[in-house]
Structure 1
């Protein structure tokens, strides 16, 4: 089977697959109004819309409701305080002590250029309504205490200062927020930061100064809207942020699971489970936020859509801790951790089991993970990701050299048989059975395997997809420059690599002039293949185009050598 024809089939499948993904994101039916499993709750003053914990969600089996603040509580004065470390800059709302904004200082939002040497940092959390994404936490009583009298994420806390900074030479920073009611119940939230770390510790200490026992639960939740899309279909299709998974994810202690925003409306897909040693996250391309309860603790995890009928519903994932009981005059502390940072492969499992799975290569994980490891090894030598990709090409070509040589040898021999096959067509006319028998006899006589060129293509296609996911989802390749390319994870800005690959395909066609035995419709399709691939690769990551351009050049050289060698063999036989 001709190499180009076979690859065309897989390329068309690839194009159809990516077009379908883009169409589904743009034109999928809008969410229908879903029946909520909890009581309808009005919006709070800060714009967040808390949900309710379904009954049975706590270890005690008696679930309190996390409700909005009442009008009186909403009128209480709240403010934003800033917390700056060497890697994070946060805004914490004293209403609930929620983290409502997070800048990742080490990760610029755009590649550094001569015109923009200091681009703005990447924003992970944001309280802007169009990009709403916040991390909330609180305590809620299991008694009949009025919502405004509970230290939930709607209660107004007090802070000693409006700005905190991890000073030079300081390895740890702690920020306290306090709340106290008239009866003597006091809650102190303490956020802990360490130099160089994206993990934030959270302690919620309950001091019961009342004359009655306090019972309730601690909870943590992430609340987010679906990111806005660009105006055109093409802009969405070429934007890796839009193409990537957007939604909630969690770890059950054994299994990693995801829920895209479009499936939040499906009751059968909702999370409602008791999980020990898990975590809850909201994912985006390259970065994520995750609440991580203590590993030995069993929490109740739920997902929910807030205001599903609105133009911009908010999606929630929550972890509710086991029941807490604090006797009068006693105290207890609930602990959790919040991760706000990058998706760096090979480092996250040290924070929590399964956290590395947030880098989701899907069904190609078995190929993508080792490929990322090899790329990282080459990068440690070459100090450039583009050079590392070229070295990966040479490695793969070396490992598959015999297979591809077999493919090129089969193509060359099939090309030489093309006139004889055409003669068989003219002899047998429309008698397909005799034509097929005569063709197979010819193949057997000349020792040619018509399927000999297919195996290498079938092997390289998983490599294609694995590398696609590595280049699209690996943080290390984000904004990685190579020669004229500022970002290997984005399309080539000058389309040089797609054009090079089109030229390689023209060279391949020149070495395989198969028009003699080819159907006219197939022949026309072959002629447009270079244009098809130029257009397709124009929207792919430049790193992937670099891989296939170099792979094509090396393959073209190998094919020329094999074809030339066979021509010499035929000449020697004829002599």
Structure 2
């Protein structure tokens, strides 16, 4: 190597050393580089750790899934052993579907394919919450039968909804007030119809299907049970399948001993026969061994009724009524086990209907099924008065008047005008009896003592016959008014038209109008009176006492002193009884008393007692009239006792 080459190599080496020294990093740069290396190493270690954890978790999940699958397979095997081909449907997730029109909203559950709850859209409970006829998982709704030697209950099985949306709304035209749920309006103004279908399929083409159909502006829900291929599984020795329906009945109204609790009970109609019911006041059950057209779960103002397209062959109904002290949210539990036909064929269909709606007389009557008999209109003697007189007049007034206080006033005036001839005749009879009081007093003095009571009675009757006075003339008109009096007693507590309607200080004419209340129960009278004061009942009592006093002053004062006292005690007794009744009823009685008082003063203004007495004295000079059958019976009774009739003068 020559000298130049050596010098070049040395220079290159020097340059490299100098360049290294010049570009050597500072301590800070060295430390930063070290930290970067450490951070990268840390990140890589963390990523490795997380990857390891993820692998472990995946392995655990796979193991859990395998275990879960094994458990599910084991459960499914157990369900299949327990329920046969229906076992697969026993596992699922509950989902809800709604079907509604302008009147009702029905919620369905795929568990059992059942009606889960029913809401009436135009009504509220006493606490202003939405009115629900029944609701909750405790609702029982489904078929019970034997299949493959196993007991099957469909309300525990999961159905699949066939097509359709989860929220189905039935639309239609606007419905005027008073035409809610009316079939006549619906025929003239048709709206839509929608259906919701649930299917329990156990094999291809073999299923149980529930089809619910709701029309616009209707309280009726069509319910069809379709069975396809079930003859392969259901025991052929079964002529009937059992359909069970049960739910707890929610309280809808203010508590009153004479209110909702009293009118909540189960009703039913035998096929082409009478309507009957379970005990109104206590828990009860009945085995209905003959054909039944419908079974109603009835409350005071609403009912849920199941109706067969054909009559149900038989049924068993049961009600358990709850005491208010034990359960303040529910009135009781109703249950119906209904037989539906099963012919063991490839394809079968059973048609039914549900009515979910108000106890409105005209609405129920329009179906021609006697469902209006669920409304308690009183005993047989007064029921026609309500059906053919009070309800038609009330509805006629309602068409043009919205204020129910005015409607009751006009209804009362109309009734009192119609009854005025009877009232007038009764007053005139009392006036004649009063005119004969001096002669009656003479007879009482002539025949003193209880031992001469029959002779005194005969002499009095002879006097009346000679004067041309009928002692029963004042009673008969009052008797004729009694059916209307009792009809109103039953009409107002069950009239849903009054529900929620206010008048003056009464917030709701279908319940009592409390102006004062307390938290304790008054001994003896608390069970009847409640823990409040009703102002309309107070006014009714006061006017009844005034009317009684006027009536007493218009009579001949022949009644026993005890009877007179009782006439004043009775209004007070009715106060304690009616204090918890609907204010509409007390308001009606108050108005009736006011009008009676006014009629009494009106009649008095043009009735001359002296003229009546003069006429009676003239009648006494005429030949005596023929004895009435009542007088003949009195004389016959006297002869049997050995008493001689007074000689005729």
TM-score surpassing 0.5?
A: yes
Gapped regions of structure 2 (runs ≥ 5): 1-82, 173-190, 516-533, 616-649
Counterpart secondary structure, 2:400: helix
How far does residue 254 in structure 1 lie from its aligned partner after superposition?
3.2
Residue 256 of structure 1 is aligned with which of 254, 272, 275? Answer: 275
> 1:86-120 deviations in whole A, cap 9, x for unaligned?
3222332322122232111111223xxxxx8xx22
Q: Does the 8 Å CA contact 2:96/2:108 hold for their aligned counterparts? A: yes
Counterpart secondary structure, 1:273: coil
Alignment TM-score, normalising by the size of structure 1? 0.72
2:589 matched to which residue of 1?
548
Aligned CA distance change for structure 1 residues 156 and 537 (closer, same or farther; 3 Å) = same
Cα distance between partner residues in 2 of 1:226 and 1:190? 25
Instruction: Give matches, 1:305-324, under 5 Å.
Output: 305=318, 315-324=334-343
Matched, 1:137 2:142: yes
Aligned CA distance change for structure 1 residues 487 and 201 (closer, same or farther; 3 Å) = same
Q: Does the 8 Å CA contact 1:198/1:339 hold for their aligned counterparts? A: yes
Alignment TM-score, normalising by the size of structure 2? 0.64
Q: Does the 8 Å CA contact 1:248/1:260 hold for their aligned counterparts? A: no
Matched, 1:373 2:392: yes
2:124 matched to which residue of 1?
108
Aligned CA distance change for structure 1 residues 270 and 236 (closer, same or farther; 3 Å) = farther
Aligned CA distance change for structure 1 residues 420 and 500 (closer, same or farther; 3 Å) = farther
Counterpart secondary structure, 1:381: coil
Cα distance between partner residues in 2 of 1:161 and 1:204? 18
Cα distance between partner residues in 2 of 1:213 and 1:245? 37
2:443 matched to which residue of 1?
424
Counterpart secondary structure, 2:211: strand
How far does residue 230 in structure 1 lie from its aligned partner after superposition?
11
2:430 matched to which residue of 1?
411
Aligned CA distance change for structure 1 residues 537 and 314 (closer, same or farther; 3 Å) = closer
Cα distance between partner residues in 1 of 2:455 and 2:232? 99
How far does residue 469 in structure 1 lie from its aligned partner after superposition?
1.9
Q: Which has the higher contact order (CA 8 A, sep 6+)?
A: 1
- The count of corresponding residues between Structure 1 and Structure 2 is 479
2:608 matched to which residue of 1?
567
Matched, 1:357 2:373: yes
CA RMSD of aligned residues (A): 3.9
1:281 matched to which residue of 2?
296
How far does residue 507 in structure 1 lie from its aligned partner after superposition?
3.1
Gapped regions of structure 1 (runs ≥ 5): 1-66, 111-115
Residue 501 of structure 1 is aligned with which of 540, 556, 569? Answer: 540
Cα distance between partner residues in 1 of 2:574 and 2:281? 31
1:463 matched to which residue of 2?
484
Compare the two structures and name the one with the higher helix fraction.
2
Counterpart secondary structure, 2:111: coil
Structure with max Cα Rg: 2
1:300 matched to which residue of 2?
313
How far does residue 463 in structure 1 lie from its aligned partner after superposition?
1.0
Cα distance between partner residues in 2 of 1:230 and 1:108? 9
Cα distance between partner residues in 2 of 1:373 and 1:421? 47
Aligned CA distance change for structure 1 residues 337 and 121 (closer, same or farther; 3 Å) = same
How far does residue 282 in structure 1 lie from its aligned partner after superposition?
1.7
Matched, 1:93 2:102: no
Deviates more, 1:372-381 or 1:424-433: 424-433
Counterpart secondary structure, 2:94: coil
2:641 matched to which residue of 1?
none
Cα distance between partner residues in 1 of 2:359 and 2:552? 45
Cα distance between partner residues in 2 of 1:336 and 1:369? 28
> 1:58-96 deviations in whole A, cap 9, x for unaligned?
xxxxxxxxx9x9999766543444444332223323221
Counterpart secondary structure, 2:290: strand
2:552 matched to which residue of 1?
512
Cα distance between partner residues in 2 of 1:226 and 1:259? 15
How far does residue 358 in structure 1 lie from its aligned partner after superposition?
2.5
Cα distance between partner residues in 1 of 2:544 and 2:278? 40
Cα distance between partner residues in 2 of 1:464 and 1:306? 32
Q: Does the 8 Å CA contact 1:251/1:354 hold for their aligned counterparts? A: no
Instruction: Give matches, 1:463-482, under 5 Å.
Output: 463-482=484-503
Q: Does the 8 Å CA contact 1:102/1:123 hold for their aligned counterparts? A: yes
